[in-house]
Structure 1
Amino acid sequence: MTTQQILEKLVSFPVLGGDTNLEIINWIQQYIESFGVTTFLVYNNDNTKASLHCRIGPAVGGGVILSGHTDVVPVKNQPWDTNPFELVEKADGNLYARGSCDMKGFLACCLATLPKMVKANLTKPIYFAFSYDEEIGCLGAEDLINDIKSTYSEIPKFAIIGEATMLQPIIGQKSIHILDITVNGSEGHSSRINQEVSAIHEAAKIVLWAETKMEKLVKTSNDVRFNPPHSSLHVGTINGGIAANIIANNVTLSLDMRCLPKDNPNKLHQDLINFCKERETIKRAIFSNFTIKVEENHRIVPAFSTHESSEAVTLIGEITGNYNWNTVSYASEAGYFANAGFEAIICGPGSIKQAHRANEFISKDQLNKGTAMIEALVTYLEK
């Protein structure tokens, strides 16, 4: 099968983050095993989802992991011109479908190159590591990585995470932590604002806290490799209140925190908790049942930072011809691989500008170049 034919099959599985992915992972497993390669599945607790890993080549150390995810983001309420789960080739040379860019294009490049991998005289192995639920917090990554480390006696050296980068090596990623905050105040007539506790007013103080905290980080923590070059805090949603003359008793808001690799997201989280406790102590003198509840929307997706002179950058340069590295602020599984001891780097076909939007696409040129990158890796590992 060609890369495009495999991509056409992969995008036909409408696996959203949180959904069971067994249908697509079983198809991938059958495809890989048809070439005589042994695969391993790593299931979630209720066996409704699974990650897959396998090794192609000799059982020696120093190999390369090719990492991707099988889930995609929703299409509901997006103005698609075509069926999102059917690959459509248009005259502009682009292939349209949900997941074509993020990141089933990379999976297709890996799978299309598998026949060449199997026939090659590899001196170092290549591993596939395909996960579930990346789009809702990289939920399958840790178990997948732990199973890789316990399954093989040898230790892989590199992990290439194939997110869409236009095949540019990405050497750094911020951590991402999303918190859901619920403020419960006391309802009442707006004329009694000083006798009640407005959930909206208290929520506004949390927004101001986030702005003030970020202003301090701008001055005290900086990494010019990133844009913006500091850790960031952003309130993305806020909901509450029913009328201008009614004191709101409930407000919910979401806080997105993205930290530089050198900053500690757990400390930032605790600073928020401490602030909320202070506000509770102050306002319970007026309303004893006042609460601010902070919950994780999903756990922290860790940051990672690879030195620009690392062997991983050299490896990507050798197989793509591109040594011009960059950094990103979006989430990926790179931090998990880095924390597990692998030299992680992000590099894959397609543009992140196309991800998560209506009429997502990957160009045929990028898909072909992505396949060429994996083929070049095979040649590189034959040396």
Structure 2
Amino acid sequence: MTESTLSAEAILRKLVSFPVLGGESNLPIAQWIRGYMNDLGVVSHTMTNDDHTKIGIHARIGPPVDGGIILSGHMDVVPVEGQDWDTNPFEVVDDGKGKLYGRGTCDMKGFLACCLHLIPEMMEANLKKPIYLAFSYDEEVGCQGAPALIDDIGTTYAEKPKYAIIGEPTMMQPVIGQKGICVLETTVNGSAGHSSRIRQEVSAVHEAARLIVWIEEKMNELIQKGHLDDRFDPPHSSMHVGSVTGGIAPNVIADQATFEWDMRVIPGNTVDQILDEFHQYCAEREEKLKSIFPDFKITTTMGHYPVPPLDTSADSDILKLVQKLTGNHRWETVSYAAEAGQFSEAGYESIICGPGSIAQAHRANEFLEKEQLQLGIAFVKNLIQELSL
């Protein structure tokens, strides 16, 4: 069997065999995908990160005219360390009962396999509008690779794609909304001393606690002011502190404390808006306490650039198209973040729809049902047919 005649399942097996985790170099899997495309006569384009250890890939199949559709997915996966797998996570195992086990089968190499498998059919079709394949890196560590990939698509092609379909696992159910996310780290620099001098020193732990309470109260304030969107569960922006470190002993005033937190914002709220208020509160605390300890300081850094929410209209053309292609006439929203919000922010009508269940993502014994793989293939086939009319 040559590369040009690989089945979707065979391609999935190859993709899963590359243990490329988010944050690591993805050159092996990216180079294989590029070679596969090249063997089929597809001209692919790449963009790289600053140290050239990661590659984003995009390609156009069809005429260079406005109105095309981007099919997008990420090449990286989450770690398997500490998970109790029954099989080798980087080898696809067929259980003989309709399930394909392996890291990334569901999230989201199954969708990539559907797209790559159907490249010959895309090239043979009389497409009236182009199909763009766009594969990113570092999605699993904060959707870090998509912005540069999206920018490169915008500068490479003279024409303008209209839609973007991001193939995250949704059981082929159209998803028109996602929450945005931002991961942050806040460090408080206080003054060390004997615990009996708590009024003469500035405890970093105490101040960190005040900031954590502010974060929770801010979330509650947004809820009380009616910043709600019933399409989501929970129906509001959430803020959560996941880890706190600081101090060395109960009788020593802590000179440093750090906490890590995240924000997941509904459409209508913005990370910048909430952060501005947080920074203002931090500035107030600094101004008050510098009289006690001049070097008192609060520093907040982002783990990655904020991922914007997705808020595609229920009346949008992209939803109508995906409903037609899948036969699923309902729509949903999700509380996790994905690259769809970034494509939408760049001006493409965007939606999330792909094979597999999100319930299988990021866990031991991740699997993709063969039926879902076939539904993904049928979806892309229907798209090819739709763009050939």
Q: TM-score, normalised by structure 2?
A: 0.95
Aligned to 1:273: 279
The reply on whether 1:297 has 2:303 as its aligned counterpart is: yes
C-alpha displacement of 1:301: 0.7
Task: Say if 2:184 is the partner of 1:179.
Answer: yes
1:207 aligned partner, one-letter code: I
* One-letter amino acid matched to 2:309: A
Structure 2: distance between partners of 1:211 and 1:147: 39
Quote the offset at 1:91 in angstroms: 4.0
Are 2:93 and 1:88 aligned?
yes
- The equivalent of 1:127 in structure 2 is 132
Distance 1:319 1:33 in 2: 28
Pairing 1:252–2:258 present: yes
- In the alignment, the residues of structure 2 paired with residue 136 and residue 79 of structure 1 have an alpha-carbon distance, to the nearest angstrom, of 22
SS at match of 1:108: helix
Partner residue, 1:194: 199
Look up the SS of the partner of 1:206 in the other structure. helix
Kindly provide the CA deviation profile for residues 58-109 of structure 1, in whole angstroms up to 9, marking residues without a partner as x: 2222111001111111222222222221111224422221111111111011
Structure 2 runs not aligned, ≥5 long: 1-5
Q: Deviations over 1:297-334 (max 9, x none)?
A: 11111112110011111111111101211111212111
| 3-state SS of paired residue (2:356) | coil
The counterpart of 1:228, out of the listed 229, 234, 237, is 234
Moved more, 234-243 or 295-304: 234-243
Within-5 A mapping of 1:206-355? 206-220=211-225, 221-355=227-361
Matched to 1:336, the amino acid is Q
Equivalent residue of 2:76, what SS? coil
2:15 to 5, 10, 14: 10
CA distance in 2, matches of 1:349, 1:143: 26
Counterparts of 1:96 and 1:188, CA distance in 2: 55
Letter in 1 for 2:135: F
Structure 1 portions without partners, runs of 5+: none
Match of residue 363, structure 2, among 357, 364, 370? 357
Letter in 2 for 1:140: G
Moved more, 247-256 or 122-131: 247-256
1:5-154 mapped onto 2 (5 Å cutoff): 5-154=10-159
Deviation at 1:181, TM superposition (A): 0.7
The whole-number CA distance in structure 2 between the counterparts of 1:300 and 1:4 is: 35
1:264 CA displacement? 2.0
Q: Which residue identity is paired with 2:141?
A: I
Selected match of 2:386 from 370, 375, 380:
380
Does 2:172 align with 1:167? yes
AA at the equivalent of 1:228 = P
- Cα RMSD of the aligned pairs, angstroms, is 1.4
In structure 1, give the amino acid aligned to 2:240: H
How many pairs align? 383
**Hey, what's the Cα distance between the residues in 2 that align with 1:191 and 1:153?**
69
